[in-house]
Amino acid sequence: MVTFQDIEAARKRIADAVYYSPCPHSIPLSEITGMEIFCKLDNLQRTGSFKERGARNALAQLSAAQQKRGVIAASAGNHAQALAYQGGLLGVPATVVMPKFAPLIKVSTCQQLGANVVLHGTDFGEAKAHAHELAKKKGLAYIDGYDDPAIIAGQGTMGLEIVEQVPNLDAVIIPVGGAGLLAGVSLALKSLRPNTKVVAVEAQNVASFSAALEAGKPTKITMHPTLADGLAIARDRFGNFASRRIGKERGGRSRGDSACRLDVWKIRRARRKTRGAFGLRWQHRPECSQPCN
């Protein structure tokens, strides 16, 4: 179980290596929605996402011997890049296992950041199974992108920053894939600002968090194509943990990739990750969402 104290400790641990990203007031979004909207710009991290928070926190807690042996993860996205970059800063060898058909740009980016990239399997499940085999065989520490207490505590540091940057905070909208970010940030928010609402938003085509809430436990779903590939997780491993922190507050499913593209085109002022765009779309067009509970 992750505690608020774990998040506070993570903040001190990552302070010198992770950017304290700004959370500016967005005039265009505020005008569109009729609300005061602030955007937490973690896309300004070196590798372009919040994943560096959890990666750094997890890597920093490894023993000296384990840091020397190295770490491994199965990922074709932001977690892989974060692990490679932060591993390089700490001198920890990082191996990343990706499916054979992973986009070349993701393979080359991880290699440029210093990771040893292994291509195996036709999908993420096969890549992950192979990563666990290599971890056991070579004595590497497997670091999951969201199903790990150190990762959750690291992601939760974003919540601490948001509270500092937006004093009169009413609600926070969080995109959901594996629910690691949701679990960490909601814990931080509810510990410091109990009355702040947390809204979890996911793509309808990969609604694993909703499935976990409805079933009362992590549930594997059938995945369908989505623009928000960073949210495409077949099983939300921390759905129950995150839902306990949110209580009975609202969740939503963003229904269409085409509408999301249109909304991003209308509101963007900087390059943003598509997973974040689903949260922007929910606040812009909440009538296109469904409640998760």
Q: Does pLDDT of 205 surpass 60?
A: yes
Whether 211 maps to a domain, the answer reads: yes
Whether 168 maps to a domain, the answer reads: yes
Cβ-contact 46, 7 below 8 angstroms: no
C-alpha atoms less than 13 angstroms from C-alpha of 23 in its C-beta half-sphere: 17
Q: How confident is the model at residue 222 (pLDDT cuts 50, 70, 90)?
A: low
Percent of the chain with pLDDT over 70: 71
Cβ-contact 150, 58 below 8 angstroms: yes
135 and 159 belong to one structural domain: no
Whether 264 maps to a domain, the answer reads: yes
86 and 198 belong to one structural domain: no
89 and 23 belong to one structural domain: no
Number of domains the chain contains? 2
State the residue range of the domain holding 95: 52-142
Instruction: Tell me the residue length of the chain.
Output: 293
**Which residues have a Cβ under 8 Å from the Cβ of 162 and sit 6 or more positions away?**
23, 40, 169, 172, 185, 189
d(CA 96, CA 192): 36
Pairing relation of β-strands 71-74 and 251-254? unpaired
What pLDDT digit, counting tens, does each position of 45-90 carry?
A: 999 999 999 999 999 999 999 999 999 999 878 899 999 999 999 9
C-alpha atoms less than 13 angstroms from C-alpha of 90 in its C-beta half-sphere: 32
80 and 206 belong to one structural domain: no
Host H or E run for residue 183: helix 180-192
Residue 105's CB is within 10 A of a number of other CB atoms, namely 8
Q: What is the mean pLDDT of the chain?
A: 80
Choose among 153, 105, 107: nearest CA to 127. 107
Query: Which pLDDT belongs to residue 223?
Result: 58
Whether 293 maps to a domain, the answer reads: no
155 and 276 belong to one structural domain: yes
20 and 162 belong to one structural domain: yes
Whether 109 maps to a domain, the answer reads: yes
126 and 239 belong to one structural domain: no
Instruction: Look at 1-5, 117-121, 168-172, 247-251 and tell me which has the smallest mean pLDDT.
Output: 247-251
230 and 85 belong to one structural domain: no
* 263 or 138, higher pLDDT: 138
Q: What is the pTM of this model?
A: 0.80
What pLDDT digit, counting tens, does each position of 228-248 carry?
A: 444 445 454 544 344 444 444
Amino acid occupying residue 19: Y
d(CA 287, CA 45): 32
93 and 237 belong to one structural domain: no
Maximal C-alpha separation, the chain: 56
121: left (phi over 0), alpha (psi -120 to 50) or beta: left
Q: Domain of 164: which CATH number?
A: 3.40.50.1100
Query: Which pLDDT belongs to residue 290?
Result: 42
What pLDDT digit, counting tens, does each position of 211-220 carry?
A: 667 777 666 7
d(CA 76, CA 56): 18
Amino acid occupying residue 138: K
